[in-house]
Amino acid sequence: MSSEYLVLTLGAAVAGVYVFRDVIFGTSSKAPPVVTANSKAAVEGGGDPRDFIARMKAGKKRLVIFYGSQTGTAEEYAIRIAKEAKSRYGLASLVCDPEEYDFENLDSVPENCAVIFVMATYGEGEPTDNAVQLMQNLEDPDFNFSKGEHRLDGLKYVVFGLGNKTYEHYNFIARKTDEKLEEMGATRLGPRGEGDDDKAMEEDYLEWKEQMWPALAEALGVEEGAGGDTQDFVV
């Protein structure tokens, strides 16, 4: 009996050491932290991760696309625009969640670049959660950009809105974005796009982009057919 008891005791001890080996020997293998595109850029470039212009220059991007998205649809359209910019005109893009960036230097976007806003309207004419700060900056006359004024003279921009006509404030955020940018001296390229999720969002988008692209191409001095098959955009 004593030998059997000894064997059982040794077996239990070995099992215990195996189960608690991480604590005993300090070999815990924690999963590596998730690195977002934004934090990765900060580590690699050593700059401010909230400075979208620095990221544009570092990656040689001529377009920056901000999306106000609650369910992911606006983000999907932003990525589609980035892909088409590359395939049709060879333009590289930076696709950005506005919540991750500061907008003080929106007045310092290079002249040969453009900003595209893909803005969904949420609820009763409200911005999506990730676009609240962006809209506050655009609407607040006391918010000064890097040059000390609430002005965006020379900024080239594009707006596409996502809304639903069954709601009272149809595409209110896209319209407000366009209105405020124009008031501050920015120049819209092509018409403002408005997609209706209740009926024909895709058709609205297709019709709008065929008017928008020629205007953007002319303003940036690029020609259709200069693109390639390789994706060249960062989200």
Per-residue pLDDT tens listing for the chain (235 residues): 444 444 444 444 444 444 344 433 333 333 333 333 444 444 344 578 999 999 999 999 999 999 999 999 999 999 999 999 999 999 999 999 999 999 999 999 999 999 999 999 998 899 999 999 999 999 999 999 999 999 999 999 999 999 999 999 999 999 999 999 999 999 999 999 999 999 999 999 999 999 999 999 999 999 998 765 445 555 5
Give dist(CA 123, CA 168) in Å, integer.
10
